[in-house]
Amino acid sequence: DIQMTQSPSSLSASVGDSVTITCRASQSITTYLHWYQQKPGKAPNLLISLASTLQSGVPSRFSGSGSGTDFTLSINSLQPEDFATYYCQQSYTTPLTFGGGTKVEIK
Amino acid sequence: QVTLKESGPVLVKPTETLTLTCTVSGFSLSDTTMGVTWIRQPPGKALEWLAHIFSNDEKSYTTSLERRLTISKDTSKSQVVLTMTNMDPVDTATYYCARTTYFDIFMDVWGKGTTVTVSS
């Protein structure tokens, strides 16, 4: 199975800061990497598919990049509604796997 | 509007079999570009992919639970069913179903989830 490792597991930031979350795959997954945002008590929401395709309705302050084994999710100018947990997920091969999550907290 | 709704027991006893149903609307389970995935999340922990099924009946299961899981669909009822045998307290979690794209296999619409507790 492909292992997905996210770092950091948590971070503290202020409104207006820019943050970067990293996701590393245990083998190349080309660009079959997707990002989700989850707020407490809610279902996850798809933000970015195929490493860099922003989903409809997702603010442009979110961006994704990477290919192969290393990927990043960047959030420019954090807004109060962005404080949440973020997960990456690979779909290069089954079984699909998620990263362990990165919790973005308010400093 | 695409929606998915999970249903099933809130409480199950250890060793029992869990049966969860995902009822979908706004898309058809016969749509060749879409399928349904089950994901779970233990309290305070990360998401765990469990299984998916597509219109051609293609199925896949997570390695660690493969022997305990069965996924099936009833297209006429717009339902996808997940069964998990031999439930254990560690299976306590919120279980989500989500619409899944066939070619790139990401989950674009999620249900709200259903919480299952395993306890005697």
pLDDT tens for each residue of B65-105: 999 999 999 999 999 999 999 999 999 999 999 999 999 99
A44, A46, A98 member nearest B48 (Cβ): A98
Structure tokens at A55: 């989903």
User: What is the Cα–Cα distance from B79 to B74, expressed in whole angstroms?
Assistant: 5
Q: How far is B74 from chain A (nearest CA, A)?
A: 23
User: What is the Cα–Cα distance from A66 to B30, expressed in whole angstroms?
Assistant: 34
A22: DSSP letter:
E
Cβ of A89 within 8 Å of Cβ of B106? The answer is yes
Asked if the C-beta of A90 comes within 8 angstroms of chain B's C-beta atoms, the answer is no
Asked if the C-beta of A87 comes within 8 angstroms of chain B's C-beta atoms, the answer is yes
pLDDT of residue B62: 97
* B71 φ/ψ angles, rounded to the nearest 5 degrees: -115, 140
CB < 8 Å to A96, chain B: 37, 49, 52, 60, 105
∠ CA A29-A32-A38, nearest 5°, is 120
B61, B98, B104 member nearest A49 (Cβ): B104
CB < 8 Å to A97, chain B: 49
Contacts of A82 (CB under 8 A, 6+ apart): A37, A61, A75, A104
User: What is the Cα–Cα distance from B18 to B38, expressed in whole angstroms?
Assistant: 13
Asked if the C-beta of A99 comes within 8 angstroms of chain B's C-beta atoms, the answer is yes
pLDDT of residue B102: 94
Cβ of B46 within 8 Å of Cβ of A98? The answer is yes
pLDDT of residue B100: 97
Contact call for residues A63 and A74 (beta carbons, < 8 A): yes
Q: What is the pLDDT along chain A (107 residues), one digit of tens a residue?
A: 999 999 999 999 999 999 999 999 999 999 999 999 999 999 999 999 999 999 999 999 999 999 999 999 999 999 999 999 999 999 999 999 999 999 999 88
pLDDT of residue A52: 98
Structure tokens at B20: 């969860």
User: What is the Cα–Cα distance from B72 to A101, expressed in whole angstroms?
Assistant: 29
SS3 per-residue string spanning chain B: CCEEEEECCCEECCCCCEEEEEEEECCCCCCCCEEEEEEEECCCCCCEEEEEEECCCCEEECHHHCCCEEEEEEHHHCEEEEEECCCCHHHCEEEEEEEEECCCCCEEEECCCEEEEECC
Per-residue pLDDT of B29-50, as tens digits, reads 999 999 999 999 999 999 999 9
B52, B63, B111 member nearest A43 (Cβ): B111
